[in-house]
Every structure is written in structure tokens, then in C-alpha cells.
Structure 1
Amino acid sequence: MHSLILPCPGRRADLPLWAPVSDFSLVESSGTITSNSQQERRFLDFVLDSKPTCPTVLANGGDNISPLWLGGGHEWCRTAIDRLLGEAEPDAPGGRVSVYVCAECADLGCGAITVLVERSDATVSWRNWGYQNNYDDWFVRLDDLPDVTFDAAQYALTLRAVLDRLHSR
């Protein structure tokens, strides 16, 4: 089941035209990710330039989903959003942040897709996508997932809308 929610409005007028800025939004998704999965998960998938990212993650042989879980795991979701906003410490070695986690427990020890989150006043970038865990200092680079840069204000607005949605439950 997919229903588009929480879109990111277009480019801010004060961003330089030379700055390549990707659209950032979220789509509600659900499903049993693998045959080993114990239960179906509802989650918000990251949509980058109109393309949901989870299918690319799954095509790389992973069974990870975004940490933005719906219907349970709200505290984990809040913490994940705080990390993406730079309001909590990164959870992975090397200052990296998990963007796709184990569909069963969200534990970094099971392996996760992580990025470096870089911020400026006007933008937020996700760089160097990789697969890693919390007991090795290295990660495996995922070249199928490109570096992306978002408008910082719209990125924060989109993620904070998820927090508002969770608080209303």
C-alpha cells in the first residue's frame, strides 16, 4: 500500500540556482520485507526526486526499511528524526546516521544503510550511502544510491510534520 504524504514544496527562492537541490518527501509504505520477517511493518519511505528509495535498497539484497515506523516504535522514530535533523548524535560509527534499519528490531547490530548528513544554513546533504553495523569501523559503499542535497527548511518541515503526526496519536 502506498499513499503519498508530507510532500516537500519546491525550491526556495533564496537558494542559488547553481545549487542542485533534490525534492524530499515521504510516502507511507507497508509490507513484509522478507520471508523471515515476523510481522508486517508500516513505515514512511524516503522519496528523493519523486522516487521511493526502499525499492533500491531491496534490489541491493537488503531487507531494511526506514526507521520512520508507524503503528509502533514511535520512540525509535522520534530519535531517528532527531538524528536526521542534527538534534541527536549519529548512531553509526564515523558520525553516520541510519536511514534504513532492520525491519524487525531497528538495531544497528543487524546492519543498516547509513549516510553522512551534512548541514549548511540553506541545505542538508546525504552523502556516501553505505551498509554498516555498530561493531565494524568500515562500511560498504552503495553506489546505486546517489548523494543528494535538500533545501534545509523544507527538509526540516517535512520531518517535523512526522513528529506532529506522532504526537497527535
Structure 2
Amino acid sequence: MNSLQLRSATRERNRCSYWDYYVDDRRLADVLDVGDFIPPIGWLGSVTELHFLSMLLRAADGDLSGNRAPLFVCAECADYGCGVLSCNIDRTYEGIVWRDFGMQTDYDDELIVDDRYRDRIYTFDPTEYYRTFSGHYDLAKSGG
């Protein structure tokens, strides 16, 4: 099993504070080399954040082609047209699985899969996974 944490981070360019993914104590953005994309958690307002968290928690379908969930979005506007790093999030007998990472937009069905993450798969304990995101979901739901 992989471990998943959310850690507070700040993008210096626009002083944007957000929650960054860490898998096995490594910053996922560095592992996947996502450039200037950040997670959509902690900086977009409660309604938008609820939407993203619902997809991560599997309470809503992914809103990109192939039922994919966005993990990293444009750090300026979070618009899918700027590009998004997405993945499939599945519940298997092993746990919650993030797999099939790729870059895409909302105006083109093409999924660009880089060799750096072609075969990368993360499996998380379901209890720990839901605990990681549920506090952020509850906060966004309360408007905080």
C-alpha cells in the first residue's frame, strides 16, 4: 500500500495557498513532473472545491473524458482548457487505485501519456484514503 498525505503549500508566483499531494512522503507533482500545475484543493472556493473532492472521493464521476478525475490543474485559473493531469480512480479489492495518469484538456479527447508515468500505479488503504480527504470535504461543505 502507498501512503497519501495532503500538505499545505504556497505557490510563490501568485501567493496561492493550496493542499499538495504527497505519496510515500514524496511530492507527487515532482514525481509526475507536472510543471506549473497544482492540486485543486484549498484555493478555489467551497463550491468548486466540493466538486473536485467529490471526484477524488468517488462520490461523483470524473468530469473528463473516460470518467477521469483531475489531480493537477492550471495554477492560475484551474480551467481544463489550460490542461490538466488526470487519472482513473478505482475501488478494487486491493484498495483505492490511482492509475493511467495523463495530460488532457476538456476540448479534446486525446490523452497524452508521458513515459515518466506510463506504468505508475498507486494503491491506498480505503480507510486512510477517505480520512485524508474527508476533513477537506467537510470544510468545503461548510463554506470554510
TM-score bin, normalised by smaller chain: 0.7 to 0.9
Tell me the C-alpha RMSD between the 2 structures. 1.9
Matched, 1:162 2:142: no
- Provide the C-alpha distance between the structure 2 equivalents of 1:66 and 1:161, rounded to a whole number of angstroms: 16
How many residue pairs are counted as aligned between the two chains? 141
Q: Are 2:54 and 1:54 aligned?
A: no
Structure 2, gaps ≥5 residues long: none
Corresponding position of 2:76: 104
SS across alignment from 2:135: helix
- The one-letter code of the counterpart of 1:82 is S
2:63 matched to which residue of 1?
91
Output the CA distance in 2 between the equivalents of 1:110 and 1:97: 15
What is the aligned partner in structure 1 of residue 52 from structure 2? 80
* Structure (1 or 2) with the larger CA radius of gyration: 1
CA distance in 2, matches of 1:111, 1:142: 14
Structure 1 position 40 matched with structure 2 position 12: no
Secondary structure, counterpart of 1:109 in structure 2: helix
Label 1:168 to 1:121 Cα distance change in 2 as closer, same or farther (>3 A).
Answer: farther
Higher relative contact order by CA 8 Å / sep ≥ 6: 1 or 2?
2
1:32 CA displacement:
3.2
Question: In the TM superposition, what is the alpha-carbon distance from 1:56 to its structure 2 partner?
Answer: 3.6
Aligned counterpart, 1:149:
123
User: For residues 131-168 of structure 1, what are the alpha-carbon distances to aligned partners after superposition, in whole Å with 9 as ceiling and x for unaligned?
Assistant: 10011111111333421010111101110011234437
Any unmatched runs of 5+ in structure 1? 1-20, 34-38
**2: distance between equivalents of 1:158 and 1:125?**
15
Which amino acid in 1 is paired with 2:121?
Answer: D
Instruction: Compute the displacement of 1:130 (Å).
Output: 0.4
TM-score, normalisation: structure 2 = 0.87
Separation of aligned partners in 2, 1:45 and 1:56: 13
Given that 1:100 and 1:113 are in contact with CA atoms closer than 8 Å, whether structure 2 keeps it comes out as yes
Find the aligned partners of 1:159 and 1:121 in 2 and give their Cα distance: 20
